């Protein structure tokens, strides 16, 4: 089931990423709403009012960013975050954290792709680095085994898996450079950073679930658990990737900032 789900979802994600525009924004918005809803369930704050308010705000933000109204999206997010915090009451810290988590994933994913020149290449680079880290870590961990990475948070992860995933991510940089998309040394460095960040994002989500004694964020994806379980590394990596691109080439050319050195 895990393999079948991946064979269906990965091509769909790539196709919509290639299409870009409102199709990619729609997918990202729906996924971000799902991330927020699952986060609330994990931390025990999943009330109808809170989930509904967050859904409306995130959907509005996605619509604004998709059609170029970034400032409006940010203002909406700030106001909406305040509303979510008020509604959450006793769980306001966790609810606000979940809203920030989902909103960051939304904005970074759409903005990185909106670069008309290198947006798709940058997005695929991030996706493939995250997937390579995950797959390489899985096979290296299962095949080699050895000392555990952080047993209190994630009992199954090993140091061999972490190193295997890191090595696999570097192959993505080599492949992109071989195809003429970017220079080898900068891409290797970016890949290394994103791979480490992706692994840390995975551990962060595991720590949150461990804190609330939850095994899976949901059972939405057969064989994979929930959106949080599947996208924890991607959320961390896409945010850092956008920050790198933004610092180098600005808001509207973050894809080029990530890929062109």
SS (H, E, C) the chain: CHHHHHHHHHHHHHHHHHHCHHHHHHHHHHHHHHHHHHHHHHHCCCCHHHHHHHHHHHHHHHHHHHCCCHHHHHHHHHHHHHHHHHHHHHHHHHHHHHHHHHHHHHHHHHHHHCCCCCHHHHHHHHHHHHHHHHHHHHHHHHHHCCCEEECCCEEEEEHHHHHHHHHHHHHHHHHHHHCCCCCHHHHHHHHHHHHHHHHHHHHHHHHHHHHCCCCCCCCCECCCECHHHHHHHHHHHHHHHHHHHHHHHCHHHHHHHHHCC
Asked whether residue 7 is assigned to any structural domain, the reply reads no
Does 95 fall in a domain?
Answer: yes
Average pLDDT over residues 150-162: 89
221 & 195 share domain? yes
- Residue 221 has a pLDDT of 82
Is residue 175 pLDDT above 90, yes or no? yes
Range of the domain at 100: 20-114
Closest CA to 104 of 131, 76, 77: 77
Measured in degrees and rounded to the nearest 5, phi and psi for residue 252 equal: -90, -5
Inform me whether the pLDDT recorded for 75 exceeds 80: yes
- Is 127 found in the same domain as 212? yes
Residue 194: inside a domain, yes or no? yes
Both 105 and 121 in one domain: the answer is no
261 and 143 housed in the same domain: yes
Higher-confidence residue of 5 and 168: namely: 168
The reply to whether 8 falls in a domain is no
Q: Residue 154 — φ and ψ, nearest 5°? A: -135, 90
User: Residues 240, 135: one domain?
Assistant: yes
Q: In terms of domains, do 96 and 168 share one?
A: no
pTM for this one? 0.94
Average pLDDT value for the chain? 94
18-27 CB contacts, 8 Å cutoff, 24+ apart = 18/120, 20/113, 20/114, 20/119, 20/120, 21/66, 22/66, 22/67, 24/109, 24/110, 24/113, 25/62, 25/63, 25/65, 25/66, 25/110, 26/62, 26/66
Let me know whether 49 and 140 are in one domain: no
Angle between helices 92-113 and 48-66 (to 10 degrees): 20
Could you report the per-residue pLDDT of 5-59, keeping only the tens digit for each?
Answer: 778 889 999 999 999 999 999 999 999 999 999 999 999 998 999 999 999 999 9
State residue 177's pLDDT score. Answer: 96
**Percent of the chain surpassing pLDDT 90:** 82
Question: Could you tell me if 123 and 79 lie in one domain?
Answer: no
pLDDT of amino acid 219: 85
pLDDT digits 0-9 by tens, 200-236: 999 999 999 999 999 888 888 877 789 999 999 999 9
């Amino acid at each position: 089931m895990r393999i079948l789900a991946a064979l269906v979802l990965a091509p769909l994600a790539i196709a919509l990423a290639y299409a870009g525009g409102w199709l990619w924004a729609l997918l990202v918005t729906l996924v971000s709403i799902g991330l927020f809803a699952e986060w609330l369930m994990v931390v025990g704050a999943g009330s109808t009012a809170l989930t509904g308010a967050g859904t409306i705000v995130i959907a509005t933000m996605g619509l604004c960013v998709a059609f170029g109204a970034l400032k409006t999206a940010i203002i909406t997010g700030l106001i909406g975050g305040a509303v979510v915090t008020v509604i959450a009451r006793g769980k306001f810290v966790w609810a606000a954290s979940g809203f920030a988590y989902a909103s960051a994933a939304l904005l970074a994913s759409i903005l990185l792709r909106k670069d008309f020149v290198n947006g798709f290449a940058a997005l695929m680079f991030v996706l493939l680095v995250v997937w390579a880290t995950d797959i390489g870590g899985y096979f290296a961990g299962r095949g080699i085994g050895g000392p555990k990475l952080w047993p209190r948070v994630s009992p199954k992860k090993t140091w061999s898996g972490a190193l295997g995933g890191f090595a696999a991510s570097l192959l993505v940089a080599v492949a992109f450079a071989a195809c003429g998309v970017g220079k080898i040394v900068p891409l290797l460095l970016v890949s290394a950073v994103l791979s480490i960040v992706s692994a840390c994002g995975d551990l962060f989500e595991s720590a949150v679930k461990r804190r609330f004694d939850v095994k899976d964020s949901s059972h939405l994806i057969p064989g994979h658990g929930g959106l949080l379980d599947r996208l924890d590394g991607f959320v961390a990596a896409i945010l850092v990737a956008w920050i790198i691109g933004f610092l180098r080439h600005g808001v509207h050319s973050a894809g080029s900032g990530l890929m062109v050195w």
